Amino acid sequence: MKGILASAALCGAVSASLYGESNLNHSCVLQDPIWSCSANAQPDLVDTCCSETFGGMFLATQFWSTYTGLESEGQLLPANSWTLHGLWPDFCNGSYTQYCDFDRQYDPAPSPNTTTGDASGTPVPPYKGPSIDTFLHPFGKFDLLSWMSKYWINQNAPSKNLWAHEFSKHATCYSTFDTPCYGPKAAPHSDVVEFFETAVAYFRRHPTYDWLAEAGITPSNKTSYTLDELQWPLTKASGAVPYLGCTGPRFNETKAGKGSLDGGYTVLDEVYYYFHAKGRPQDMNVRPVDADAVGSDTTCAHSKGAIWYYERAKGSEAEV
Ligand SMILES: *[C@@H]1O[C@H](CO)[C@@H](O)[C@H](O)[C@H]1NC(C)=O
Ligand SMILES: *[C@@H]1O[C@H](CO)[C@@H](O)[C@H](O)[C@H]1NC(C)=O
Ligand SMILES: *[C@@H]1O[C@H](CO)[C@@H](O)[C@H](O)[C@H]1NC(C)=O
Ligand SMILES: *[C@@H]1O[C@H](CO)[C@@H](O)[C@H](O)[C@H]1NC(C)=O
Ligand SMILES: *[C@@H]1O[C@H](CO)[C@@H](O)[C@H](O)[C@H]1NC(C)=O
């Protein structure tokens, strides 16, 4: 994982809102939107529901994986597409907090299990109520749920657990998705619906599979790729250098990399696109930010032909 964990004290770990703001007066049309991470993006200068003041740098994160582990239950990966991981609010310096509001803790298996990731943090209570997908039912958002079931896919656990995890760990740390922002008459879980819709919208705006395929880069178990070949088409299309994450063996520990000093990993599995937003991230007025400029350097190997962008396992992919 990238980033340095910020002090949990900043994060209202058990309170109902980040700043204790009123649930009235959040008509964002009445304010000029402010760029997140700019000098004026301060909680005492703007309506924190209308401009992001807590996590000012966002990451639209996606996975490339080759199996789900729950194929037998019909949990498959979408053909010709990466999958949605989340939409994370980092601080402007790249560090972050997590599980910022225990009143909105819907994650059945909190990970990490404390707010700091170690014994110094507050334990995050596992959620035992109705699963988060049911929150969408009163809104009639069955098309959204059906899309999420195809493109927002978990590994070795049901996808709805990932949705709950992403909401409770990350969405609760935005000022702009905070509960009071929705006003006194909001239907319960309006924030959940809006967060899911926003995460989906950013994902759809970043079609990683297509961007790579247009550059002639498709999953292959025969041909490996070089970091630049993967990074360049995504940079050109998204407007900034994304973070690429790799897993698997280190290059210097593979046959091809024996004797090399390149200790980067060799199996491509993640991409993060970074932004600042003007006003609410929901409104998608963003400017892309270079991942390497904010200290998020790739974990992938740099050597020629060191990276594998593997084909999905047989039976793990659905036609969509
Ligand atoms: C709403 O805004 C008005 C005008 O700025 C202010 O007087 C009032 O106290 C605010 N109400 C709440 C509940 O914050
Ligand atoms: C990053 O920013 C956050 C929020 O402003 C702050 O709490 C934290 O200490 C900063 N971390 C570093 C390493 O500067
Ligand atoms: C969190 O997980 C660690 C490692 O599995 C375990 O040792 C610790 O007791 C857990 N803490 C809580 C609060 O559940
Ligand atoms: C490979 O690189 C890593 C990180 O640079 C290093 O810790 C490890 O010892 C290296 N392994 C070999 C076999 O050289
Ligand atoms: C491609 O390779 C990956 C990694 O070894 C493997 O999991 C997958 O099943 C392979 N796919 C095909 C179609 O052979």
> pLDDT tens digits for 157-198?
999 999 999 999 999 999 999 999 999 999 999 999 999 999
Q: Would 15 be classed as within a structural domain?
A: no
* pLDDT(11) > 50: no
Look at residue 320 in the predicted model and tell me its pLDDT. 67
Look at residue 104 in the predicted model and tell me its pLDDT. 97
Look at residue 15 in the predicted model and tell me its pLDDT. 59
Q: What is the mean pLDDT of the chain?
A: 94
Domain count across the chain? 1
- Verify whether ligand 5 is closer than 6 Å to residue 71 (CB atom): no
Terminal C-alpha separation, the chain: 30
- Verify whether ligand 4 is closer than 6 Å to residue 252 (CB atom): yes
Residue nearest to atom 14 of ligand 4 (CA): 252
* pLDDT(274) > 80: yes
Look at residue 231 in the predicted model and tell me its pLDDT. 97
Interval 216-263: pLDDT, tens: 999 999 999 999 999 999 999 999 999 999 999 999 999 999 999 999
Q: Would 34 be classed as within a structural domain?
A: yes
Q: Would 241 be classed as within a structural domain?
A: yes
Q: Would 139 be classed as within a structural domain?
A: yes
Question: Judging by beta carbons within 10 Å of its beta carbon (0-12, 13-18, 19+), is residue 135 exposed, middle or buried?
Answer: buried
- Verify whether ligand 5 is closer than 6 Å to residue 223 (CB atom): no
* pLDDT(14) > 60: no
- Verify whether ligand 5 is closer than 6 Å to residue 210 (CB atom): no
Residue nearest to atom 10 of ligand 3 (CA): 113
Ligand 2 centroid to residue 57 C-alpha, Å:
12
Ligand 4 centroid to residue 187 C-alpha, Å:
54
- Verify whether ligand 4 is closer than 6 Å to residue 20 (CB atom): no
Ligand 2 centroid to residue 64 C-alpha, Å:
30
Interval 40-94: pLDDT, tens: 999 999 999 999 999 999 999 999 999 999 999 999 999 999 999 999 999 999 9
Of all residues in the chain, the percent with pLDDT exceeding 90 is 89
Query: What CATH number corresponds to the domain at position 96?
Result: 3.90.730.10
Q: How far apart are CA 5 and CA 2, in angstroms?
A: 9
Ligand 5 centroid to residue 194 C-alpha, Å:
36
pTM: 0.93
Give catalytic residues, as residue numbers.
Answer: 85, 166, 170
* Average pLDDT for 99-122: 96
Q: Would 74 be classed as within a structural domain?
A: yes
Range of the domain at 72: 28-318
Q: Would 19 be classed as within a structural domain?
A: no
Look at residue 22 in the predicted model and tell me its pLDDT. 85
Look at residue 2 in the predicted model and tell me its pLDDT. 37
Q: Would 146 be classed as within a structural domain?
A: yes
Q: Which of 246, 253, 265 to mutate to test the pocket of ligand 4 (most atoms within 8 A of CB)?
A: 253
Look at residue 8 in the predicted model and tell me its pLDDT. 35
Look at residue 21 in the predicted model and tell me its pLDDT. 86
Q: Which residues line ligand 3 (CB under 6 A)?
A: 113-114, 123
- Verify whether ligand 4 is closer than 6 Å to residue 302 (CB atom): no
Residue nearest to atom 3 of ligand 3 (CA): 113
Look at residue 208 in the predicted model and tell me its pLDDT. 99
Ligand 3 centroid to residue 110 C-alpha, Å:
10
Report which of 99, 57, 202, 86 is spatially closest to residue 152, judged by C-alpha positions: 86
Q: Which of 22, 25, 47 to mutate to test the pocket of ligand 1 (most atoms within 8 A of CB)?
A: 25
* pLDDT(314) > 80: yes
Q: Would 10 be classed as within a structural domain?
A: no
